[in-house]
Amino acid sequence: RAGPDVSVMDNDELDDFIAFRGELDDVRWDRTPTDSKRAASLSSSKSSGPATRSDDLSEPDYCGWDDLDLGPAEGDSSWDAFEARDEDEDKPRGGKIVYGGKKLTKAQREKLKDEEQLREARESIRKRGWTDNEVKWRSWLARRGHDVMVHDWNLSQYIDGECIPPSRDPFWLNSNEVPLPDYEAGNDGENEEDVPPITNLMGELIAPKYPPPRKVVLKPLWWDVDGEKLERDCLGRKTETYCWQQTNSQVYLEFKVPEGTSARDLRVTMRPTRVTVQIGTSEPLIDEELFMRIYVGSNGDDDSSIWELQDKRAIVFHLTKWHRMEAGNVRDASRTWWRQCLAREEPFEATNPPHAYYEAKEKR
């Protein structure tokens, strides 16, 4: 009966099928053949023992289920290679990494760990979809990126091959409506944008490793000295090029020198009645005669006169008076008062020291 899943045979196919079935019906499956090579092989195998394979492949002998090689016994150790390995075998035992039931050496453990990290890195790269060049760039940035500051203009120095910075890429420029200002030309317009911050590939701001040097703005020389009061009290004088003040035993004389002058370049000479300052072997910058005598002293003397350079723009002399109460060469403090410091100055109008002179304190 024909159906949707049943095919219909024509007459020729039906005759062939009946003939085939007839051949199968003549086969006696429960008996062995009697007039063939197989029958001869079976009779010889029954007399000699179990059936065996013939070494001559051109004339195969009888082969039955008994000829199949079932392999080693179930308990044989050779089957272990085909069994699934237990996950607990690779876990550390007693602090040692075990692989396949064997303890590994330190070098083998490190190699195994490196291979595992390499597999994880390759899997991460595959998931992110990075190219080989991008992997090399990120690897370099992780190792050496903190030592340099990478921006559009030096990016080509750190990447092999052709490199177009993002701000110079025509595709990048066309995708933005606002044209990129030319930062190299400076601030040419009022509405020009500031220079964008420098960031890495992750968008993180790259800050300098050290803070910028602090800008020190110096105040004018002797800005805290009241020249009028100083001259009114007869304790000193302030001018555009020098300033001096005095106490009972000290005179503080300051001269202006060119800014940026180094103390190593100065050659200072102090004598009992003269001070001289020159830079190198040039003409003396300061050569002044003192009104009264000073005590020059020596390096090991605490009362000796000294000098110092302040802010690389002023030289300060700490002059010790020759006539002072500590030296015991005067009768009273009024004999230590100076009416003028330099010989070319005009003396004070007062002939005796004012009360403020006795209260003046030395600088520390």
| pLDDT (tens digit per residue) in 246-274 | 999 999 999 999 999 999 999 999 999 99
Tell me what pLDDT residue 173 has: 47
DSSP assignment, residue 246? E
**257 CB neighbour count, 10 Å cutoff:** 20
Please name which of 81, 113, 76, 74 lies closest in space to residue 100, comparing C-alpha atoms.
Answer: 81
Whether the Cβ atoms of residue 108 and residue 116 lie closer than 8 Å to each other: no
Tell me what pLDDT residue 339 has: 93
What is the average pLDDT value for the chain, to the nearest integer? 76
* Backbone phi, psi, residue 86, to 5°: -70, 135
Compute the radius of gyration of the chain from its Cα atoms: 55
What is the mean pLDDT of the segment spanning 297-313? Answer: 89
Whether the Cβ atoms of residue 52 and residue 67 lie closer than 8 Å to each other: yes
Please name which of 206, 202, 242, 248 lies closest in space to residue 225, comparing C-alpha atoms.
Answer: 242
Tell me what pLDDT residue 98 has: 58
Tokens for 178, please give them.
Answer: 């606002």
Tokens for 296, please give them.
Answer: 């020059």
User: 3-state class of 233 per DSSP?
Assistant: coil
Higher pLDDT, residue 150 or 354: 354
Higher pLDDT, residue 177 or 267: 267
Tell me what pLDDT residue 215 has: 85
Residue type, 171: F
DSSP assignment, residue 209? S
Tell me what pLDDT residue 51 has: 46
What is the mean pLDDT of the segment spanning 98-105? Answer: 70
pTM: 0.45
Torsion angle in degrees (nearest 10) through CA of 89, 91, 92, 93: -40
Give burial (CB, 10 Å; 0-12/13-18/19+) of 181: middle
Chain centroid to Cα 73, Å, comes to 64
**Model confidence band, residue 76 (pLDDT cutoffs 50, 70, 90):** confident
